[in-house]
Amino acid sequence: MLVEVEMDNLKGIKRTSYAGLINEKQVGQEVVLMGWIQRSRNLGSLIFADIRDREGLAQIVFDSELNSDLFEKAKNLKSEYVVAVKGKIRERSSKNPNIKTGNVELLADELRILSKAEVPPIYVKDDDNVSENMRLKYRTLDLRKPFMQNNLKTRSKLYKLTRDFFYEEGFIEVETPILTKPTPEGARDYLVPSRVNPGKFYALPQSPQLMKQLLMVSGLDKYIQITKCFRDEDLRFNRQPEFTQIDMELSFIDEEDIFAVNERYLKKIFKEMIGVDIKTPIRRMPYKEAMTKYGSDKPDLRFEMELKDFSEVFKNSEFKVFADTISTGGSVRGICVKNGANLLARKAVDKLSDFVKTYGAKGLAWVKYVDGDFSGPAAKFIDKEKDEVISIAKAEDGDLILFVADSDKVVFDSLGNLRVHLAKELNLIPEDVYELVWITEFPLFEYDDEEKRYVAVHHPFTHPFDEDLEYMLTDPKRVRARAYDIVINGDEMGGGSIRISDQEMQKIAFKALGFSEEDAQNKFGFLLDAFKYGVPPHGGLAYGLDRLVMLFTKSENLRDVIAFPKTQSASCLMTGAPTELSQAQLGEVHIKVLEDDK
């Protein structure tokens, strides 16, 4: 029969060690451990209980022959009870090599039950295989899991390393406003109504971009901030409506200065976080080369399978699909899958056609190269060009060649993503290899078919290449940006640019984007006004801290490296946010909610 136990307290007792840190050197010592009961096992005269804290597990022993009252109290222990236990460390007779405290245990002589727990709706263990929605709803329980605690500790370590590094480099940490002015470019803003200014709104910052530029105008010279940013956009597995950014800006610099300080930073955090020595200087690759070779401005360089351009070969081809595409300004490109003829059956290859259609392609043409000849649906159409195709693709016996014919955008999207998909399917990506690359020379503008105007690829404050200035208003698509992204294993980890530091050039950039002088002054007048009083050449970069933590913890989901993330519908299952407001609350901020038309 269990004894009804009243809750104890901490009066007169202090924790002396974390449970997950006790070891053989402490044998014979008296310690006090505090934490949660992972599980308890009653073997008749002995009760074994595992206590868990942020450092790990330790085994506690309650012996009925040594203390019958304590033993009776220990019978009440259940999963997730919060306890304090005092006793002596002793060597375990049956050691457990699976936990770091597996050579010792605590023989208890005092037990305090600090808090009871109901049966938890999810197990507190790494391999519980529970749905993500349940994990997010009961996030406090989910965060007790060892892998989640390790992820958050890794995140904390990155915070400290980052601040230590940039402080040593002479950077000054400055907090920029969270309530700021809505921006007309980029993603949608999260808007905040002003109670004291009826009908007016703040925006939560998508980044501290303009504020950090103004700090350079202010003479601060080197700025750093680890900050929250907000974007109201459709979510993917590596996106959140609020995210953390390592943000920096420097004065009197050029791209090489930015690269140098960040390569020192990356070298430090890779070594300190995962013990990897990265090679510096990091490779630089122009945007055009990245797209041409890999179909992506964030190429994964851990494997080959480069895109090949067959447009010249097929421009006069009898294969009408290819020839017509080229004649209307498109291209025919492909990838050669080594030994793909043997690795991929016909049905598997056909499924790849469905894959590229999700990126806008009309289909996928393919041939297998076996015993010196082509086979497959496209073989009879390209027989005349066979030798040239083999030469360009560098095909060998047993290879599979895949083609997409369409506009360059569709071709690059389709083959770039297909390249990565196949590498994963065929296990071509080596583990524990890190390939870093700077992508440079991005286009400054791109044409938006919906808005019928040019928009900034990054933002309107990026400095163009000096030799491209003449095209700013006459041929914007030719203008290259002094922008750069740092890409690691196919993921963009950060990006930045040299900024426009001349008032007249900034006005030209706004004009190229379709802003009238009045619009530009209304939206960015505070920046233009500041530029009247002396602006140093400046530039910067921002990392996605969440993505770096994903990299260092080998997490596949961004939500596993954030304490309290949102779902793909930008909601919080734990708190129920966002929620409806009362009429009184809405009235205070001068807002009326309209009902949807049914």
* CATH, residue 65: 2.40.50.140
- Dump pLDDT digits (tens) for 209-262: 999 999 999 999 999 999 999 999 876 766 899 999 999 999 999 999 999 999
Rounded distance between C-alpha atoms, residue 462 and residue 482, angstroms: 7
**DSSP symbols for 280-343:** SSPEEEEHHHHHHHHSSSS--TTS---EEE-HHHHTT-S-HHHHHHHHTT-EEEEEEETTHHHH
Nearest to 420 by CA among 524, 263, 262, 307: 307
Statement to judge: residues 237 and 206 lie in one domain: yes
Phi and psi of 207, rounded to 5°? -165, 165
Rounded distance between C-alpha atoms, residue 479 and residue 287, angstroms: 13
Is residue 84 scored above 90 in pLDDT? yes
User: Is 172 a domain residue?
Assistant: yes
Q: Which residues contact 285 (CB under 8 A, 6 or more apart)?
A: 299, 437, 438, 439, 440
Nearest to 52 by CA among 92, 85, 76: 85
Statement to judge: residues 100 and 141 lie in one domain: no
Overall average pLDDT of the 563-568 stretch: 94
- Dump pLDDT digits (tens) for 4-28: 557 899 999 999 999 999 999 999 9
3-class secondary-structure state, position 516: coil
Statement to judge: residues 146 and 264 lie in one domain: yes
Statement to judge: residues 397 and 456 lie in one domain: no
Query: Exposure string (b/e) for 446-455, b if CB count within 10 Å is 16 or more?
Result: eeeeeeeebb
Is residue 282 scored above 90 in pLDDT? yes
Statement to judge: residues 82 and 181 lie in one domain: no
User: Is 502 a domain residue?
Assistant: yes
User: Is 97 a domain residue?
Assistant: yes
CATH number at 480 reads: 3.30.930.10
Overall average pLDDT of the 390-396 stretch: 97
- Domains identified in the chain, total number: 4
Statement to judge: residues 197 and 49 lie in one domain: no
Report long-range pairs for 416-419 (Cβ below 8 Å, ≥24 apart): 416/291, 416/294, 416/295, 416/296, 416/299, 416/307, 417/295, 417/296, 417/355, 417/356, 417/359, 418/335, 418/352, 418/355, 418/356, 418/364, 419/294, 419/295, 419/305, 419/307, 419/335
User: Is 122 a domain residue?
Assistant: no
Statement to judge: residues 315 and 424 lie in one domain: yes
pLDDT for 127: 85
Overall average pLDDT of the 154-162 stretch: 98
pLDDT for 3: 52
Q: What is the mean pLDDT of the chain?
A: 95
Statement to judge: residues 411 and 315 lie in one domain: yes
Length of the chain: 598
Rounded distance between C-alpha atoms, residue 290 and residue 298, angstroms: 8
Contact of 36 with 26, CB cutoff 8 Å: no
- Dump pLDDT digits (tens) for 355-384: 999 999 999 999 999 999 999 999 999 999
Is residue 184 scored above 70 in pLDDT? no
Containing structural domain, residue 39: 19-115
Statement to judge: residues 184 and 111 lie in one domain: no
Cα 79 off chain centre by = 34
Q: Which residues contact 253 (CB under 8 A, 6 or more apart)?
A: 498, 537, 538, 539
3-class secondary-structure state, position 430: coil
Contact of 47 with 28, CB cutoff 8 Å: no
User: Is 447 a domain residue?
Assistant: yes
- Dump pLDDT digits (tens) for 54-67: 999 999 999 999 99
Angle at which helices 545-553 and 146-168 pack, to 10 degrees? Answer: 120
pLDDT for 185: 62
68 token code pair:
């019958």
CATH number at 340 reads: 3.30.1360.30
Contact of 481 with 489, CB cutoff 8 Å: no
pLDDT for 296: 98
User: Is 6 a domain residue?
Assistant: no
User: Is 1 a domain residue?
Assistant: no
Rounded distance between C-alpha atoms, residue 302 and residue 498, angstroms: 29
User: Is 40 a domain residue?
Assistant: yes
Phi and psi of 567, rounded to 5°? -85, -175
Nearest to 55 by CA among 171, 150, 157, 190: 150
Last-in-domain residue among 115, 149, 174:
115
Statement to judge: residues 568 and 485 lie in one domain: no
Cα 415 off chain centre by = 23
